[in-house]
Amino acid sequence: MSVDVVVVGVGYVGLPLAEAVAAAGLSVVGYDTSPRVAAAVAAGRSHVPDVPASRLRSMRAGGFTVTTDPEVLGDAKTIVVCVPTGLDSAGGPDLAAVRAAAATVAEQLTPGTLVVIESTSFPGTTDEIVRPILEKYGLTAGKDFSLAYSPERVDPGNRRFGIRNTPKVISGQTPACAKSCAEFYERFVDTVVVARGTREAEMAKLLENTYRYVNIALVNEIAIFCDRIGVDVWDVLHCAATKPFGFTPFVPGPGVGGHCIPVDPKYLLDKAEREGALLGVVHAARLVDDQMPEHVVQRVTRLLAEQGKPLRGAKVLLLGVAYKANVPDTRESAAIRIAVRLRALGADLSYHDPVAVTVPELGPPVADLDEVLRTADVAVLLVAHRAYDHGRLASTARLLFDVTGQVPGKEVVRL
């Protein structure tokens, strides 16, 4: 039975995309190698916060399913690959999921199908890695099937921008492929931007996140310097942000985390190294961002010393271990790196997060937040979830170190 769209990889990117496709009146099926994901969707349980269970059940009522059977790919008019691209054990690009997805698609690919890659990677991935895999069984991209690249722009937890109102960059192996890709996304996205080619679209995605990476590194470095010279970095940022031109505000924090910001610049650096190019600014940003968790640990150590307590044996409570506010995702979270480091230095560490699941390497979270706040030698707010009552944190904690800059009050120590 023919299906309009099959989404390969039904996670933080794939499930919101499937929802947008379904809302446009297209038939859509998810393909995922995880039986757990397929079972959760079948039961109406959403594993992605941006698609709550109520909306997932509406999708299910409209015919949406997730299957682990790759034969569904052979029935698709359009296949969109949304699998993750992370880092390998050496810290370099890991395209294993993309390669595996492309190989599975190739086995089921039929003439006339549009294949779109949304997974983030370095320039040349679509043409040099994905295309040869898809052409393995005799079909030719641009002739027998359309091949396109359109980088995902999902921002988990963002209530203002979603699939429809976020401009969509698209590209194709050929102009005809790009046209087919544009026509597909125009069904459910308000603005489609056509890149010159797949390499330009791939590079645009890396630039978007590297821009954030570099600017976060800049304000983190300024925060470290302001701490050294006794300047209130938050007042500095407030004043600078009043300039209506030439300045885009970024804020410091415990370090970058998540599936994009700490990962994508490494794809760019890896590609640059292989091309014999030096991206000095990006390298410098990496050095700053990598040291930020250690700076937080040093600040905690210093605050305790000012109270006459050594870090070893001190009760330290971390508030928030997700990589960003209001999402349960802990991938590449700087908070976890801070926690591991504090525990290695002998701190009696506990943590709490109102939205994130239990972190295996840290053990179970605290059950009674108020009790631990009252007894901890220092509480460290790393992620300012909406669920936290900042006034309650400040009034209950014996000593509150606010890394986020969100808690007012003279009794609060800020980054």
Q: Just list the catalytic residues.
A: 260
Rounded to 5 degrees, φ, ψ at 115 are -115, 120
CA 303/CA 400 separation, integer angstroms? 10
3 state DSSP class of 76: strand
Extract the runs of DSSP E, i.e. beta strands, from 132-181: 146-149, 168-172
CA 23 to chain centroid: 24
**Residue 173, token pair as written in the block:** 């192996």
Which single residue is written with the structure tokens 């009034």? 395
**Residue 202, token pair as written in the block:** 């791939």
DSSP string for residues in 389-404: -HHHHHHH-SSEEESS
Which single residue is written with the structure tokens 């944190």? 393
Helix (H) or strand (E) holding 274: helix 264-274
Alpha-carbon Rg of the chain, whole angstroms? Answer: 23
**Maximum Cα–Cα distance across the chain:** 73
Q: How many CB atoms neighbour CB 78 within 10 A?
A: 24
CA 216/CA 229 separation, integer angstroms? 20
Which amino acid is present at 400?
L
Q: C-alpha angle 77/199/21, rounded to 5°? A: 30
Rounded to 5 degrees, φ, ψ at 78 are -135, 135
DSSP string for residues in 97-122: HHHHHHHHHHHH--TT-EEEE-S---
Helix-then-strand count for the chain, H and E: 13, 15
Q: List Cβ neighbours of 270 (8 Å cut-off, separation of 6 or more).
A: 92, 93, 122
Look at strands 315-319 and 146-149 and give their pairing: unpaired
Q: List Cβ neighbours of 171 (8 Å cut-off, separation of 6 or more).
A: 148, 149, 150, 178, 181, 194, 195, 196, 197, 198, 200, 201
